[in-house]
Amino acid sequence: MQPTTPLVLCVLLSQVLLLTSAEDLDCTPGFQQKLFHINQPAEFIEDQAILNLTFSDCKGNDKLHYEVSSPYFKVNNDGSLVALRNITAVGKTLFVHARTPHAEDMAELVIVGGKDIRGSLQDIFKFERTSPVPRQKRSIVVSPILIPENQRQPFPRDVGKVVDSDRPEGSKFRLTGKGVDQEPKGIFRINENTGSVSVTRNLDRETIATYQLLVETIDVNGRTLEGPVPLEVIVIDQNDNRPIFREGPYIGHVMEGSPTVL
């Protein structure tokens, strides 16, 4: 057999590098689809797959972990979203967060026709039509917001949205609570016209794990039209314990021709 010349070896290595680069370009870390619309069924059946989520960190998805904003659902290792028990009303929006040591991403699931679970009990009390006590209608819809800690620039970063289906023309959203107008101030803010909630800097779960905020709509004079409605922001834990080398430098030796140990 003829020995491989340096020129041939260089060509072979360049082909390998080109193939590797092409694979990297074809792979975008994160969810392959970030927004889903699910028609509200009569009932979500326990352990019955609702949809399949496809997440890739372009490194083999080692130690892939999912978190769902609702305690009534989970995502299996194969990416299938299932209910943990039979349930009829879950709200209007779910968020799924996926994380590996190499990548993380968030997917939004909109429940088309879903009920606001805070007001679903109103359907039970039909006698309200004849009751002298006026029924307060809730149109502000909020879902818990999940934010991974130690996020990098750029900031501010949109992390969620508040929806008010019956907001009067000219009214605005207002956000209050610890992290907004209470210390530590200025962490969160809301677009008073669109309802988009953003975070202005990175968060540390070890400092504060959850933020309990309040959302309301106000008129041009600052008077409350509806609310306040609670909005929970949950900080997702990240592994930020870096390895510490107490001695150094470390010097190792490997004999030429040593067998590879798997």
How many angstroms separate the CA atoms of 68 and 260, rounded? 42
| Element spanning 106, H or E | strand 104-112
- Please report, for residues 27, 55, 56, 64, 99, the alpha-carbon distance to residue 60 in angstroms, rounded to integers and kept in the order given: 11, 10, 7, 9, 12
How many angstroms separate the CA atoms of 93 and 111, rounded? 6
Which single residue is written with the structure tokens 């007001």? 119
Q: Is the pLDDT of residue 113 over 70?
A: yes
Most confident of 5-14, 57-66, 251-260: 57-66
Other Cβ atoms closer than 10 A to 174: 19
- All structural domains of the chain, each given as residue ranges with its CATH number in brackets, are 30-135 (2.60.40.60), 137-239 (2.60.40.60)
Which single residue is written with the structure tokens 């041009």? 220
For 35-48, write each residue's pLDDT tens digit: 888 888 888 899 99
State both tokens at 37: 């619309």
- Please report, for residues 88, 163, 250, the alpha-carbon distance to residue 220 in angstroms, rounded to integers and kept in the order given: 38, 19, 67
How many angstroms separate the CA atoms of 30 and 26, rounded? 13
Q: What is the per-residue pLDDT for 14? A: 52
First to last CA, the chain: 30
> Tell me, what amino acid is at 186?
G
Other Cβ atoms closer than 10 A to 48: 12
Would you say 85 and 74 are in contact if contact means Cβ atoms under 8 Å apart? no
> Tell me, what amino acid is at 213?
L
Mean pLDDT check: name the lowest of 72-76, 125-129, 158-162: 125-129
How many angstroms separate the CA atoms of 94 and 146, rounded? 10
How many angstroms separate the CA atoms of 137 and 116, rounded? 11
Q: Is the pLDDT of residue 3 over 90?
A: no
How many angstroms separate the CA atoms of 113 and 117, rounded? 12
Burial class (CB in 10 A: 0-12, 13-18, 19+), 138: middle
For 147-196, write each residue's pLDDT tens digit: 888 888 889 988 888 888 778 888 999 999 999 999 999 999 999 999 99
Tell me the β-bridge partners of 175.
215
- pTM score over 0.75: no
